[in-house]
DNA sequence: ATACTTGCAAAACATTTGCAGTGAG
DNA sequence: CTCACTGCAAATGTTTTGCAAGTAT
């Protein structure tokens, strides 16, 4: 396979990178495709994934896993933060606070390199609404 | 489709339930299949998924989502704990310690109902091995 | 020109469902 | 006997790869 090497500057690359950077929230692959197609209409989903993998390898983008949904992607250089997942509207929010001060604890011999915290519940927006009413 | 209803006691059901209960760590569907096949060799993966869905619906089992890997399943009635994901062998371990003392912080108006903490790194077992080697 | 990138289609995976045969009650 | 449950294969839905054509340098 002609592996993606990132040696050239192309409109597709910029479109994918910009889509992720411009959104104020983590996007799914399909959402990135939709946004990037405003710049490059012929863009294919495979190309989005290729750039995604490249950006993940270079640690310019990180994956945000959401229970029961497809992965989302966000810029990696954001300040350290965690996520809040609203079970009502399915939105994911950034949470600035980190419960760890220093390295998280693990059993003897385990080397901790990273940590992820996800809070689940009802977001401020949904908390104000009548249960059962519409959302978006 | 003949939906699974849980009305009958079968060896397959016991094998799946026991595999999850006996493992001291969350198992993937394939891991459950492998373990349960020691009891029921002809067991099919589809049946594992059917029982999994049933057990999840009944809240006897919970899903543990891991970034960059397939979901794992563990008994629902375990004491509060978190997880460690080894990036080398892909195993998931239980971590007893919780960084939160009291309710986690969230922006005003947000109602936190649950939280999840996942540490990533190298497990004790893999840390002892030559880098690049494999196990399971 | 060279060889990296792209889009499309097909392949890979993980999970779900259709079906007809099996077996629990 | 019934009909829930099972295994297999086919269907889904998502992500990856092969390839020939397009293009940045």
Q: What is the pLDDT along chain B (136 residues), one digit of tens a residue?
A: 557 888 899 999 999 999 999 999 999 999 999 999 999 999 999 999 999 999 999 999 999 988 888 999 999 999 999 999 998 888 899 999 888 887 888 899 999 998 999 999 999 999 998 655 554 4
Do B3 and B57 sit in the same domain of this protein? yes
How many other C-beta atoms are found inside a 10 Å radius of the C-beta of residue B109?
A: 12
Q: Which among B57, B76, B95 is the end of a domain?
A: B76
* Cβ contact B123:B84 at 8 Å: yes
A26 vs A78: CA distance, rounded Å:
12
Interface mutation target, options A108, A116, A122, chain B, most CBs of B under 10 Å: A116
CB-CB contact of A120 with A85 (8 Å): yes
Q: What is the pLDDT of residue B136?
A: 43
Whole domain around residue A125: which residue ranges? 79-136
Contact residues for B6 (Cβ-Cβ < 8 A; gap 6+): B13, B54, B58
The answer on A85 and A71 residing in a single domain is: no
Give chain D positions with protein CB within 7 A: 4-10, 14-21, 24-25
Q: Are residues A104 and A49 in the same domain?
A: no
Query: What pLDDT, on a 0 to 100 scale, did the predictor assign at position B133?
Result: 53
Q: Which residues contact residue B123 at a Cβ distance below 8 angstroms, ignoring those fewer than 6 apart?
A: A109, A110, B84, B86, B88, B89, B91, B93
Q: What is the pLDDT of residue A8?
A: 94
Q: How far, in Å, CA of A124 to CA of A114, rounded?
A: 29
pLDDT, residue B7, reads 87
Pair A32, A11 in one domain: yes
Asked which of B54, B76, B98 is the last residue of a domain, the reply is B76
Nearest nucleotide from residue A37 CA, by C1' atom: C7
Footprint of strand D on the protein (CB under 7 A): A 1-2, 8-11, 28-30, 45-46, 49-50, 52-53, 70-71; B 2-8, 10, 12-13, 40, 42-44, 46-47, 50-51
In this prediction, residue B135 carries a pLDDT of: 47
- What pLDDT, on the 0 to 100 scale, is given for residue B1? 57
pLDDT of residue B122: 93
Q: How far apart are CA B43 and CA B36, in angstroms?
A: 8
pLDDT at A101: 82
Low-confidence ranges of chain A (pLDDT < 50): 134-136
Question: In chain B, how many domains are there?
Answer: 2
Q: Where a domain ends, among A30, A47, A76?
A: A76
Co-location of B1 and B37 in the same domain: yes
Give the residue from A106, A88, A26 showing the smallest Cα distance to A61: A26
């Amino acid at each position: 396979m002609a592996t993606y090497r990132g040696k050239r500057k192309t409109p597709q690359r910029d479109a994918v990178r910009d889509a992720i950077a411009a959104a104020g929230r983590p996007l799914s692959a399909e959402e990135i495709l939709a946004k990037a197609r405003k710049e490059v209409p012929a863009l294919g989903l495979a190309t989005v994934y290729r750039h995604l993998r490249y950006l993940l390898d270079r640690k310019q983008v990180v994956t945000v896993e959401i229970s029961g949904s497809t992965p989302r992607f966000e810029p990696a250089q954001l300040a350290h933060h965690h996520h809040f997942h609203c079970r009502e509207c399915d939105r994911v929010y950034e949470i600035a606070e980190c419960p760890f001060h220093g390295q998280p604890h693990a059993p003897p011999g385990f080397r901790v390199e990273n940590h992820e915290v996800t809070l689940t519940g009802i977001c401020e927006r949904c908390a104000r609404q009548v249960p059962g009413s519409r959302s978006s």
